[in-house]
Amino acid sequence: MKSLAQLAEIRDEMKKSIAIRMQEKPGSDSKVRAHVLVCGGTGCTSSGSVTIREIFEKELAANGIADEVQIIQTGCFGLCALGPVVIVYPEGTFYSQVTPDDVSEIVSSHLVKGELVQRLVYDDIGGGKKAEGPVSLNETGFYKDQKRVALRNCGFIDPENIDEYIATDGYKALGKVLTEMTPDSVIELMLESGLRGRGGAGFPTARKWQFAKNSVSDKKYVVCNADEGDPGAFMDRSVLEGDPHAVIEAMAIAGFAIGADEGFVYVRAEYPIAVKRLAIAINQAREYGILGKNIFGTGFNFDVNIRLGSGAFVCGEETALLTSIEGHRGEPRPRPPFPAVKGLFGQPTIINNVETLANVAQIINNGAEWFKSFGTEKSTGTKVFALGGKICHTGLVEIPMGTPLRTIIEDIGGGIPNGKKFKAAQTGGPSGGCIPASLIDTPVDYESLMSIGSMMGSGGLIVMDEDNCMVDIAKFFLEFTVDESCGKCTPCRIGTRRMLDILTRITEGKGEEGDIEKLEELANNIKATALCGLGQTAPNPVLSTIRYFRDEYEAHIREKRCPAGQCKALARFTIDRDLCRGCSLCARKCPVNAIEGVVKSPFVIDQDKCIKCGTCIDSCKFGAISKK
Amino acid sequence: MALTKEQIAAKYAELEAYISENKDMDGALIPVMQKAQELFGYLSLETMELISERLDVPVSEIYGVATFYALFSLTPKGEYVISVCTGTACYVKGAQLVLDEVKKQLGIGSGETTPDGKFSIQDTRCLGCCGLAPVMMINNDVYGRLEPADVKDILAKY
């Protein structure tokens, strides 16, 4: 078992080794002169980063510099769209979309001769401009407006090496808490920091802890909710993949604050890399005696176990999650009693989200004032978003709360690809709502988003352009909630299905007058009566799209027209008489013979026969056919 | 790819060992079922009966848990499991068209297996590589930035 003094020794020793990455002078006499960081997050792994790492190893050996250059596999850098990503220190050169063939050039040119491989350097400094001369990571358009707190170690340390975590002041906060603080002073500090739950609802973390501490029991639990189910959200996965020890440390701190000696991380089985790194981290922490009995010789005991989810979205709801850990169908239970009073196996339990926990140790180390210096008065700190959809820089971003949506989309996200127009952003996944283009200057914090009928959500931020149909998007989310409704309570089980029926009818051109009002009535009833958060929030995507895009709903219902041209059943294919050369190719390709005409004069599509398959558009060489 | 008797016996032995090791843990049922699913690729009635006996949990309850969670399957899956991501990021970039094309090429729907036992299509919400959207995964191979027209050639590789 390691003592706090031994921990400090490891920290001092390791700080010398990561000095190259801090762009400081190496403090040791080690031969290592450069660090090559290869992203090992899920996104970059999918685009081949494991092979890249292997080739680096071979190339370094072939050039005889294997002992001068250290390769480090890290968590996510954030810019997933440009993966695989490689960063070379001490320069901090950011190479994007590195292919196996590029590796030997990076090694022979950059690492041997010290000349950057310019064509691979990412030098987009925002506003469509390229940097002149070398540019460091923090000067690029994608990074310069970000503030990395929860993600501070992601893409910086090797998550599979506990010593690297310790080098970045890891487990220092736990040491401080156990030796210098009381449970009350920990909770007091958290309350002062204003930290609120990052899973979506934004409940003050310290108050949860206070309730659980006040509950009298011999056994209490700390549960980390890593069942990140919102489609299009991958913040929690990235934290677990890039910095698993931060979560473990925070759980131990929470355990000390409420008087618990056991913790569970409930993580999706669909996140194999995150599960693996978390398991490695837990084992390393146990080996160091940071988890287990009598931690740092203070008499405090705490251990963490992993439970895998089995693919049920509702298990992200806290009471359903507890029921699932207990080994049952993951159905929610009524609150009260709240988990802080009667939770896992009937004992007082706190449930915190991964990103929430990732902030805890840093608040202890740096103080509440430091944390409050980011964000707004009521929404302190930062928030991580998974930026996806129709946006140039798909990836993971962390911004101070209160940053305008415009900054996220235009500056950090690099805008909408293919010159299309921004139409709306969707936050909060199936529980959230959309933010239309007219409100793009809304500050992103809990209160502002709530006031416009959306929500912070866990951090999925999907950008849509003019080609996306908002009725179709509402239907997409409702299909999801209908599928994932556990069936326990009637409003959610039947109500959401009836709403989906109506939406499906509308998108098929069978909408009727009064459908919008029916949707609204059903939605409000479901919100008021469903048992858990899944049902209570399921109507939100429908209500918010009706609120901001009512005209689109009306066009579908009254004119049987989809303004975005996305609803297949409502699409109309027409041939432009001026552009058509009468080649007859489309007519020959049409599978249902819906196109007629005489060669060398314009052809016409018979709308009654057309099955809207789009074959004609693909076949036309003159761009004469359009879909509206 | 039918398993030999010895292979099946070995898998059952592994499951039994896992159960003995973990049966006193609180909430052991789901981890044990996950182990069985991983070993056999599905939960047969015999497997569920075995778990029932060892953990002293009624088969009806095990069936209830198995049908609640998407991860558990009551029928064997194909040799290659195809997951087309229909998470939001992929959906807004046309994942539905890709999924439709896969269904068309194989002549089966989601959750079904081809008669020769080669391919299964599985509903998938988010594979987490939104930067590559739209994405599909065949066993552990990831294919990104797909167009429906790419599907045929990809399937032909298997």
B74 lies in a domain? Answer: no
A361 neighbors A174 (Cβ within 8 angstroms): yes
Spell out which residues of chain B touch residue A328, defining contact as CB-CB under 8 Å. Answer: 29, 61, 65
Shared domain check, B114 and B47: no
The per-residue pLDDT for A439 is 96
Domain termination residue (choose one: B42, B68, B94): B68
A253 neighbors A206 (Cβ within 8 angstroms): no
Give the other-Cβ count within 10 Å of A528's Cβ. 9
Residue of A nearest to B72 (CA): A310
- pTM passes above 0.90: yes
Q: Whole-angstrom Cα distance, residue B153 to residue B61?
A: 44
pLDDT tens per residue, range A451-472 = 998 888 889 999 999 999 999 9
Most confident of A56-65, A81-90, A119-128: A56-65
Give, as one character, the DSSP assignment of residue A410.
Answer: I
Report CA-CA distances (Å) from B69 to A68, A268, A392, B52.
50, 12, 35, 18
Q: Which two tokens stand for residue A324?
A: 């699932």
Q: Whole-angstrom Cα distance, residue A192 to residue A173?
A: 17
B38 lies in a domain? Answer: yes
Q: Scanning the structure block, which residue is given the tokens 């190339």?
A: A59
Shared domain check, B99 and B59: no
Interchain pair A234, B131: CB under 8 A: no
Q: Which two tokens stand for residue A291?
A: 């988890």
Indicate whether A269 pLDDT > 90.
Answer: no
* Fold held by A31-139: Glutaredoxin (3.40.30)
Residue in A310, A394, A426 closest to B71 by CB: A310
CATH class of segment(s) A572-627: alpha beta
B10 lies in a domain? Answer: yes
Q: Whole-angstrom Cα distance, residue A188 to residue A196?
A: 14
The residue of A44, A219, A234 whose CB has the most chain B CBs within 10 angstroms, and thus the best one to mutate to test that interface, is A234
Q: Where are the domains of chain A?
A: 31-139, 162-372, 382-465, 470-558, 572-627
B32 neighbors B57 (Cβ within 8 angstroms): no
* Fold held by A162-372: Rossmann fold (3.40.50)
Interchain pair A46, B133: CB under 8 A: no
pLDDT tens per residue, range A543-553 = 999 999 999 99
Chains A–B, number of C-beta pairs less than 8 Å apart: 125
Q: Comparing C-alpha atoms, which of A507, A524, A537, A624 is closest to residue A577?
A: A624
Which runs of E-coded beta strand occur in A268-348?
A: 292-295, 300-308
pLDDT tens per residue, range A486-510 = 999 999 999 999 999 999 999 999 9
**Any bridge partners for residue A400, and if so which?**
A382
Count of alpha carbons within 13 Å of B52, Cβ hemisphere only?
Answer: 16
Q: Comparing C-alpha atoms, which of A91, A75, A114, A85 is closest to residue A35?
A: A91
Residue of A nearest to B132 (CA): A81
Shared domain check, B85 and B152: yes
B93 neighbors B134 (Cβ within 8 angstroms): yes
Q: Which domain holds residue B88?
A: 80-156
Residues 114-133 of B with CB under 8 A from A: 125-133
Region A63-77: what's the mean pLDDT?
Answer: 94
A594 neighbors A605 (Cβ within 8 angstroms): yes
Shared domain check, B86 and B18: no
CATH class of segment(s) A470-558: mainly alpha
B75 lies in a domain? Answer: no
Count of alpha carbons within 13 Å of A454, Cβ hemisphere only?
Answer: 29
Interchain pair A81, B131: CB under 8 A: yes
Interchain pair A329, B65: CB under 8 A: yes
pLDDT tens per residue, range B22-79 = 999 999 999 999 999 999 989 999 999 999 999 999 999 999 999 999 889 998 888 8
Shared domain check, B89 and B39: no
Q: Which CATH number does A382-465 carry? A: 3.10.20.600
Region B125-144: what's the mean pLDDT?
Answer: 83
Shared domain check, B152 and B124: yes
Q: Comparing C-alpha atoms, which of A304, A201, A297 is closest to residue A255?
A: A304
Query: What is the count of structural domains for chain B?
Result: 2
pLDDT range class, residue A24, cuts 50, 70, 90: confident
DSSP sequence for A3-30: -HHHHHHHHHHHHHHHTTTTTS---S--
